[in-house]
Amino acid sequence: MNVKQLFDLSDRVAIVTGGYTGIGKQMAEALAEAGANVVICARNLDGCIKTAEEISKNTGVKTLALRCDVSSEEEVKGLVSSVLAEFGRIDILVNNAGIAMGGLPEDTELKDWESVLRINLTGTFLCCREIGKVMIKAKGGKIINLASIMGFGTTEVVSAPAYVTTKGGIIALTRELGVRWIRHNINVNAIAPGWFPTHMTDPVLNPDKMGKGEDLLHSIPARRFGGEDDLKGVTVLLASRASDYMVGQVIVVDGGALARY
């Protein structure tokens, strides 16, 4: 099999949670550009519809926009049913949906802690579990979980205890599922992005808000934040046959920030 065939995603069906904006949109675009039909789901249905229409127009693949709160077991099961009804299969899952709340540990309220864990960690587990069942029956699939460099270690510049905890948990979950499910020909791996300008990171990077961008930039050897194409290659790698021998791995895309330590 040549390299083009290894990375070809033609006729595959991919679900990207939280895929209507930010790095989720970038990853959805990458999958579509490689030939996959893409399902965009999030709590913001209007945003999903807009992004799905844009991707379909630009790439020619089939797209579907669905509302889904990944922290709801019922809604995740409904997502699976809707995708199967539309496409009859699910080949790729990208668990990108997530939220972040900053603040010192001693000031973090229980409701905020539980909200972040419910969406980031429980949501990732629920999507893996329900779509994993489909992939087990199909005898194959690709799951990409979104971790973060903050899942490996924190920074003095930004405090977000719940977020950091969920990303460390996602790394552990990725390894657990990777080992358990490779026997079913399901590859479970993760991507750990560094700092990418998005709606989620805007409160930190924006000079008019926390304004920590300059401090964080000095910690990145590449001397820039992640760009609009920097996650595309690794996304297609982990979604394609090119990663068939990769199990429970976490690929860091951070401009060298972690390599300094």
**C-beta separation of 21 from 198 below 8 A:** yes
Q: Which of 20, 163, 245, 261 is catalytic?
A: 163
Cα separation, 208 vs 117, in Å, equals 28
The H or E element that residue 6 is part of is helix 3-7
Q: What is the DSSP letter of 69?
A: -
Token pair belonging to 234 = 């690794």
Instruction: Give the CA radius of gyration of the chain.
Output: 18
Q: Is 20 an annotated catalytic residue?
A: no
**DSSP-derived secondary structure for 213-252:** HHHHHTT-TTSS---TTTTHHHHHHHHSGGGTT--S-EEE
Adjacency order of strands within the sheet including 92-95: 63-67, 37-42, 13-17, 92-95, 141-146, 186-193, 250-253
Catalytic amino acids? 163
